[in-house]
Amino acid sequence: MNTQRLPTTIPEYLEHLRRSLAGADPALIQDALYDAEEYLRSELVENPGKSEAEVIAAVASSYGAPDEVADIYRETEVKVQTALRSPPPPARKSVLGRFFGVAADPRAYAALFYMILALATGIFYFTWVVTGLSLSAGLAVLIVGIPFVILFFGSIRVLSLVEGRIVEVMLGERMPRRPLYTARGRTLLQRIGDMFTDPRSWSTLLYMLLMLPLGIAYFTVAVTMISVSASAIAAPVLVWLGIAEAAIDVSGWQVLYFGHDLIGTSVEPWALPLLFVCGVLLLFVTLHLARGLGRVHGLLAKHLLVKTTNA
């Protein structure tokens, strides 16, 4: 065990742990602080006759000193991320290799699915926030308005954890898995006040409001590009397989028919191979775009949802 002087109070222990994790991912720091506080306070409850200093000294050999716990969290995080994340595709040196290699990256498909899912989550978040803020303002003049506002802001913090898990799983950005760490030893009114004065509460509201226009944009881009590329790939194939029929219109262009239903756009016969190639290329462009937007959105979510060490 480390021979450094052990903290004598739980807040001091947590502050030492936070400093020991300086430079680590803010989401990891939030989880570590929450776990440490939960463990130490449970030990304090189980040993009512001991002081905080005695409990910390007793558990130091099992749970560890702050710097030891910090090292364990860093090592565990590397192992967990290695186990959870699929192996990255092999690096390709050529431009064509990097362009077509996106097909082997699972993160591109997950980001594309997130773009489609974002419409549903964006509508829900936007509706929840607008309804909650409207009712909070309307009920503010009544006694019942105060607990309603508190419950509403509490629900926002829960939803931020849910969204964080979605972002982490689909976009690969490390997000908190534990609630936001709050300092103990403060009165209930002070802790409620902290919730309203915490910039992260308001940035979370902003994020959920932004999710509606972002969700609409993501969904539109994803569905449009997938539809166009799939149509461009399928139309020539259907003609070549004899499933679709080509009919010449008065202008000399071809339109593709499946039975009596028009399924394609007017194309020249010689353009069918070119249309197929363009469809394939557009499909890979879609995957690249989805992966890029996924990375950018992951950073945005982390910036607005996760409390930094300085915030």
pLDDT at 38: 84
Torsion-angle region of residue 242: left (phi > 0), alpha (psi -120 to 50) or beta? left
Residue 69: exposure state from Cβ atoms within 10 A (0-12, 13-18, ≥19): buried
CA-based nearest residue to 179, from 146, 197, 156, 208: 156
- Give the CA radius of gyration of the chain: 27
CA distance 220 to 87: 30
Q: How many residues does the chain have?
A: 311
- Residues 95-110 have pLDDT tens digits of 787 888 888 888 999 9
Determine the average pLDDT of the residues in 256-285: 68
CA distance 194 to 309: 16
pLDDT at 263: 43
Residue 113: exposure state from Cβ atoms within 10 A (0-12, 13-18, ≥19): middle
Sheet holding 254-258, edge to edge: 245-248, 254-258, 261-262
3-class SS at 255?
strand
CA-based nearest residue to 180, from 307, 23, 16: 307
Q: Given pLDDT bands bounded at 50, 70 and 90, which one contains residue 59?
A: confident
Determine the average pLDDT of the residues in 194-219: 92
Answer yes or no: is pLDDT of 253 > 60. no
Do β-strands 254-258 and 261-262 pair in parallel, antiparallel, or remain unpaired?
antiparallel
Answer yes or no: is pLDDT of 28 > 60. yes
pTM above 0.85, yes or no: no
Answer yes or no: is pLDDT of 193 > 50. yes
The pair of three-digit structure tokens given for residue 253, joined into one six-digit string:
């262009």
Answer yes or no: is pLDDT of 46 > 70. yes
Answer yes or no: is pLDDT of 226 > 90. yes
